[in-house]
A and B are shown apart, each in its own frame.
Chain A
C-alpha cells in the first residue's frame, strides 16, 4: 500500500509518520510472516526485550530505526518467515529480526515522498542480551510505537537528527 499524491504533503509532515511507520511494519508482517501485528494498548517496558535490531539511515533522513523484542518473539518471527517448526528456525532469529528491521525501514522511507531517493540504509545490526542500553547521537526527533505480535511486545523506534 502506498500513499496517494494528494496525501503527499501531509505524509511528509513528521506528525503523520507514526501511522506510516505502523503501517510499514504491519505490511512487512502481513506479507513476509503471513501474520498480524497489533497496536499495543499501552507502551512497552523495554527492559524485558533482549533482542534489538538496528538499521542506520543516512542522507535526507539521518538516524536509526530499531526493532526491539524478546528472544522468544524473535524466534517466533523466524519460524513464521521460514515456514519451519521452532527447531528448524533455531539459530535464525537474529537474521530474521534483522531482515524485519531492514524491510520496515525500507518500506517506511518508500512511503515518504522525496525521501526514498536520498536516504540510504545500512545493513542491519542485531544485539542480543539484556545488559545493555541503546544510545544514539541522533536525538533531535524520536518516535516510538509499541506493537504486539502474538501477544509479544515489539517496539519500533525511529531516532533522527
Chain B
C-alpha cells in the first residue's frame, strides 16, 4: 500500500516521532500522519479524518489505549481500519485484552524498525 495515512496515538510527542520514523525505516510508505496525545484526541481526529492505520499506546492520561480501541466500532471513519498497539505494557494479559478489544497487532517498547515491519506489513496487507 502506497502513502498510507496513519494516526499515531501516544502521550509522548517524542515517541510519536520515533514511531513515524520507524515506519519509514521499515520501508512503509507513509503519507499523511496525524497525531494524538490520548484516546479522546484520537477519537476527535477520526471523527474528521479517514486513515489507513492507527498505532496506539496503552498507558495515557484522559482515555487510555484499550478504552480507545473499545470505542472505535462506534466511529464511522474507523470501520475496517486496523489498530496496532505500541506499548511498554508487555504482559500476555494486556495483549489478550488489546486483541479482544479489536486491536490487530501488538508491539512492545522498546522496539526495532524490523519489529515494526514484521507486525505492521501483514496487518496492512490484510493478512492479520
A residues in contact (CB < 8 Å) with B:
27-28, 30-32, 78, 81-83, 92, 95-96, 98-99, 102-103, 105-107, 110, 116-117, 121-123
Using C-beta atoms within 8 Å of the partner chain, give the interface range for chain B: 20 to 34
Q: Cβ of B87: which chain A residues have Cβ within 8 Å of it?
A: 106
Q: Which residue of B lies closest to A28 (CB)?
A: B110
Interface SS, B side: loop
A-B contact pairs, 28 of them (CB 8 A): A27-B110, A28-B110, A31-B110, A31-B111, A32-B109, A81-B14, A82-B17, A82-B18, A92-B13, A92-B14, A99-B12, A99-B15, A102-B88, A106-B88, A106-B89, A107-B88, A107-B90, A107-B110, A110-B88, A110-B90, A110-B108, A116-B90, A117-B91, A117-B92, A117-B94, A121-B88, A122-B59, A123-B61
Interface residues of B (CB under 8 A from A): 11-15, 17-18, 21, 59-61, 87-94, 108-112
Query: Which of B14, B89, B94, B112 is in CB contact (< 8 Å) with A99?
Result: B14
A interface, by DSSP: helix, strand, loop or mixed? helix
